[in-house]
Chain A
């Protein structure tokens, strides 16, 4: 399954590295990535593929949410279908 991972928060060094490390450790592939910084507010969106993931969806959510709290940003993972169904006919 594919999911959208979003990071929202104040910009600082190492956010992408932190997230990418967690994903790499769990064999989760990043298929697309985009980011912007607007007035110091950081937004990153990743499309990730959990097909060969070592951990389940729920566990990934917990791990990244916890890491987000540590570094002061909000990290969410949502099934991509929510976006597909809302924005595509």
Chain B
């Protein structure tokens, strides 16, 4: 039985060897740049010493020392909490709007207008967070921002959008949504374009209104794409957006904005606690992996799994 299987594989490989050759560079890429450096996670269990190198550094005593230190520090709960909260909000508030936008763009009959809206909506995706932070300050800064200037001109008091911890997570989620909305809509637009038009024609003949067609045809057929997106985002739930938060969070709001990645960066690169930073980074990756596997398993129950 086993022999037969192996023979079959050899047979397949022989006949399709061109494909395997084409695959080779990518396999090498992953081995060299993704799997190779992974031996570096060793430093999470060592007292890393730069001149001694990764292998030469002594083991931490006990080996879970750095994990222990992290969990005993007052930061652990808060940083993990912030990470999960911000990710959860980003998923909760960021999953539906792209679908709505995609449907709206799709239903738009004027072709020129449609193209213009689509282009304008995905443009922010290409801006870096540094630029977006500049735009945010121009609008939201309490002393010089446009919105606060309006507020004060109307006799209202100004509001610290960028420095008030109570609403800062909303700022994070809001700007992230603004930046990614049009871009995320593209995938749904593609999915909508793939829907068999005869379904709509049949529905029109049966007397379905536009809303009913969206409700009974478009949305159910977008379910697969939606679940795929959900799995991908659930896998990265521990990544709440390093570049965004590193750029826009000031000390005043760090209590609600510090996430695992920013903390790891500051701890590891800026303060040189490589071992501690790696321990936390590793922890994060393991949880992320479990989440991807978990959501995929869940999704397979609805026949929508990634693999």
Chains A and B bind each other? no
Residues of B within 8 A of A (CB): none
